A and B are shown apart, each in its own frame.
Chain A
Amino acid sequence: MRVIRFVLNGDPVETAAPAHWTLLELLRYGLKLTGSKQGCDKGDCGACTVLVGGKPILACLSLAARAEGQEITTIEGLMPLHKSRGGSGADPVQEAFDACGALQCGFCQPGMMLSTRALLNQHPQPSREQIQAALSGNLCRCTGYTQILQAVETAIAQSTGAPAPQPAWARDRELQGQEPQS
């Protein structure tokens, strides 16, 4: 066992794990934070994405020892960190994913939202191409990418006070000459 000290979602943590445990195993089975998902477990899917020092990395291919001295954010930390900065409710990214229905099974969502949060912290107003590039390491096997991109753009609109983008289905109906339903 190795003692590991780090800052998890804003709080200092002192814990221990065997050398061969991954960071994902430490989070899920040591600290009982099951928001970070165990998908492919070999670096393909991005479901285990967490932020280390603000950068998205894959917890399934990081040793637990890598956490030492780092600041780590998991999906469980988005809302508390948002509130600690004076915000109310959930992180705007979480609100936007909810409002846009940017999930089907929901398994990719923690990783998607953390990759989005990291992007928006660095580039508050990214282009569509930048959003796609930033999320290109997160797979959604329900292939709900349209709503996911719309959710990110909605979160951006909310932070800038701009009107939220029109939902994809409303655009489709307009193209078909129908009035969008409210």
Chain B
Amino acid sequence: MLRLPQFELIEPSSLYGALAALAEHGPDAMVLAGGTDLLPNMKHGLFEPRMLVSLAGIEELRGVQVTSEGGLSIGAMTPLADVADHPEVRRRAPALAQAAGLVAGPQLRSMGTLGGNVMLDTRCQWYNQTHFWRQALGFCLKKDGTVCHVVAGGKRCVAAASNDSVPALTTLGASLRFERLGQARTIAIDELWHSDGANNKRTEGGEILTRIEIPATPAGHLGAYGKLRDRGSIDFPLLGMAVRLDLDDQGLVEHADQVVVALVARPVRIKGVHEALLGLRPGSADFEQALVPLAEAARRQCRPMANIPGDEDWRREMVAVFTRRTFLAAAEGASD
């Protein structure tokens, strides 16, 4: 049995109420979205906030809207199941719909939110464990200890960014709106990350991620998300990969992108993807031929570590397999 430590629960019904509560209680308070990451982490003794500010009752943070420019504006508290099933998300941002639909299992997708997935804590097999388990090993860099069990002598935490939604949002050029009492800022999702697994996000105290904004995708936009995991459900990614292909009116690639997660503390954009696929026709022999060196280049650029379950050499080999597989899955959208 895993019990939650004691805390006080604040349940504002407006964003203003939540921001005011965070401003009042400072570092004593943490934000609770769907609870599917924070609550198990609290049960493991990884966080012991004196207060939780629940966003569950704030209607203005829910829902998917199509903007006047044809982009998407998604409230941070929109459940992942709703993102996965939303017809406009599926049409305009297929990689995001696929990724949201591959997070965990059905119950957790109804509970977990898109904003919560973006703000997910990094994961490591030496960290996401009970206090008893971690204590037996003398704790680790990320929590309560001074050594890293992944990298001998390591001084920087290498826990893995494991957010399924982030590769898709990054290829889509999403931006994130953060609000604190009396202030708001919008940053590109690329700018959120540090490469320190102990705290891999550039956020400030008292902030809440309120919206995820996705610019309009062109008519020839294709996307796909590939997820490596032991089972077909429930698991966090052992490797997560989003690809993007934008086709011109001739059906030729005019923009290509690929972002990988569950390697190191931050998402990794593969270099040279655009140049490798530019001007090719998805489904053609040339396109498939170009994926062979691209898969090898992606494999060379990705260095999975022994931070999450799954042999790291196997995960590295699977980068090449998933590069080919995910681009082919995206290309299939061209024939629809």
Q: Which residues of A contact B6 (CB under 8 A)?
A: 18-20
Contact check, A137 vs B234: say whether CB atoms are below 8 A apart: yes
Whole-angstrom distance between the alpha carbons of A43 and B104 in the complex? 9
Is A115 engaged at the interface, CB distance under 8 Å to the other chain?
yes
Dominant SS at the B interface? loop
Contact check, A115 vs B54: say whether CB atoms are below 8 A apart: no
Interface residues of A in 101-151 (CB under 8 A from B): 115, 133-134, 136-139
Whole-angstrom distance between the alpha carbons of A84 and B1 in the complex? 35
Interface residues of A in 68-120 (CB under 8 A from B): 115
Beyond A41-B43, A63-B9, A136-B232, whether A58 also contacts B4 by CB under 8 A is no
Beyond A61-B39, A62-B111, A63-B35, whether A19 also contacts B7 by CB under 8 A is yes
Is B186 engaged at the interface, CB distance under 8 Å to the other chain?
no
Contact check, A137 vs B105: say whether CB atoms are below 8 A apart: yes
Across the interface, name the chain B residue whose C-beta is closest to A45.
Answer: B234
Is B233 engaged at the interface, CB distance under 8 Å to the other chain?
yes
The A/B interface has a contact count, at CB < 8 Å, of 80
Name the contact of A65 in the complex, choosing from B1, B36, B54, B110 (C-beta under 8 A). Answer: B54
Q: Which residues of B contact A5 (CB under 8 A)?
A: none
Interface residues of B in 206-239 (CB under 8 A from A): 232-234
Across the interface, name the chain B residue whose C-beta is closest to A64.
Answer: B9
Nearest Cβ in chain B — how far from A38, in angstroms? 6
Contact check, B7 vs A58: say whether CB atoms are below 8 A apart: no
Beyond A61-B36, A63-B35, whether A55 also contacts B54 by CB under 8 A is no
Is A22 engaged at the interface, CB distance under 8 Å to the other chain?
yes
Contact check, B107 vs A56: say whether CB atoms are below 8 A apart: yes
Whole-angstrom distance between the alpha carbons of A57 and B36 in the complex? 11
Contact check, A19 vs B39: say whether CB atoms are below 8 A apart: no
Nearest Cβ in chain B — how far from A162, in angstroms? 26
Across the interface, name the chain A residue whose C-beta is closest to B11.
Answer: A65
Q: Give the most central of B32, B104, B106, B108: most A CB within 10 Å.
A: B106
Contact check, B111 vs A61: say whether CB atoms are below 8 A apart: yes
Across the interface, name the chain A residue whose C-beta is closest to B232.
Answer: A136
Is B70 engaged at the interface, CB distance under 8 Å to the other chain?
no
Whole-angstrom distance between the alpha carbons of A134 and B233 in the complex? 10
Whole-angstrom distance between the alpha carbons of A56 and B54 in the complex? 20
Is A171 engaged at the interface, CB distance under 8 Å to the other chain?
no
Nearest Cβ in chain B — how far from A120, in angstroms? 14
Contact check, A43 vs B233: say whether CB atoms are below 8 A apart: no
Name the contact of A137 in the complex, choosing from B11, B39, B104 (C-beta under 8 A). Answer: B104
Beyond A65-B9, A136-B232, whether A56 also contacts B2 by CB under 8 A is no
Interface residues of B in 37-53 (CB under 8 A from A): 39-40, 43-44, 52
Whole-angstrom distance between the alpha carbons of A42 and B4 in the complex? 11
The 6 sampled A-B contact pairs (Cβ below 8 Å) are A38-B1, A42-B43, A43-B36, A63-B54, A137-B106, A137-B107
Give 17 new A-B contacts, CB below 8 A, not counting A58-B36, A65-B54.
A2-B9, A19-B7, A19-B52, A38-B1, A44-B234, A57-B111, A61-B40, A62-B35, A63-B35, A63-B39, A63-B54, A115-B106, A137-B107, A137-B108, A137-B233, A137-B234, A138-B105
